[in-house]
Structure 1
Amino acid sequence: MTDQSQQPETPMEGTPMIAPSSTDHPLYDTIVEACRSVYDPEIPVNIYDLGLVYTIDINAESEVNVIMTLTAPGCPVAGEMPGWLADAILPVPGVKTVDVDLTWEPQWGMDMMSDEARLELGFM
């Protein structure tokens, strides 16, 4: 008999690497628009359309938790961009609190950009 406690923890097959967003919450669309007001200073496209915002989780008390990434770990604004995003979302009417967490998993890739972002950057 093998001891399961010694096995490394691996995600279950079919478990998404990016948690789903609260797309059915009434504040979701307004929060997405707030995310679109934040730009990476080196890229002329907002961070939402770049695919840097992975999850927007809004609970019943209208507390918002955002999971985001950056184009690269060495990004010069790595320490500032989560604060910029929180500052953009907090004024949305109805939002109680905002917490922005930075993740590197999964790693961002150009395939995460919206069609609008690809067009803007000349990739389409």
Structure 2
Amino acid sequence: MEKLAEPVYHIEEHYWNILKDVSDPEFPISVVDMGLIYGIKEKGGVVDVTMTYTTTACACMAWIESDIKNRLLQEDNVNDVNITVVWDPPWTVDRMTEEGRQKMKRWGVSSR
């Protein structure tokens, strides 16, 4: 029996969940919980990620992008990953998930 394709929203949700495996090198919080990922689209085995950073001078940009690509490429149906970095809208702590805020709070770092 041939496997039916998942609806797009489930596929993209899957990639959001996968990127919870990728942590910011400065804080052990996922790039998703930090609010760095703005969007994920998949078409024909190519995943397009739109993201930002907490600052334009982030020293970890190359590491984070490499970690995102490497993690997504571990998926059987992913052949390529394109990352687009945007600065508008700018990142603020309001983009963090509640889970991310709670982790920061546990480490004594205020997210507000």
- TM-score under structure 2 normalisation? 0.79
Partner of 2:24: 40
Identity across aligned pairs (percent)?
26
Equivalents in 1 of 2:65, 2:28: separation in Å? Answer: 18
Distance of 1:28 and 1:41 partners within structure 2: 24
- What residue identity is the alignment partner of 1:43? F
Q: Look up the equivalent residue of 1:38 and give its one-letter code.
A: V
Distance 1:58 1:25 in 2: 10
Query: How many residues are matched?
Result: 101
- 1:102 is aligned to 2:85: yes
1:26 and 1:93 map into 2 onto residues whose CA distance is 16
As a proportion of its length, which structure holds more helix? 2
Aligned pairs (5 A) from 1:21-100: 24-59=8-43, 61-100=44-83
Deviation at 1:33, TM superposition (A): 2.2
Q: Which runs of 4+ in 1 moved over 2 A?
A: 23-27
TM normalised by structure 1 equals 0.72
Give the Cα separation in 2 of the matches to 1:47 and 1:84.
10
Q: CA RMSD in A?
A: 1.9
- List alignment gaps of at least 5 residues for structure 2: 1-6, 106-110
Q: Is the 8 A contact 2:48 2:81 kept in 1?
A: yes
The higher radius of gyration belongs to 1
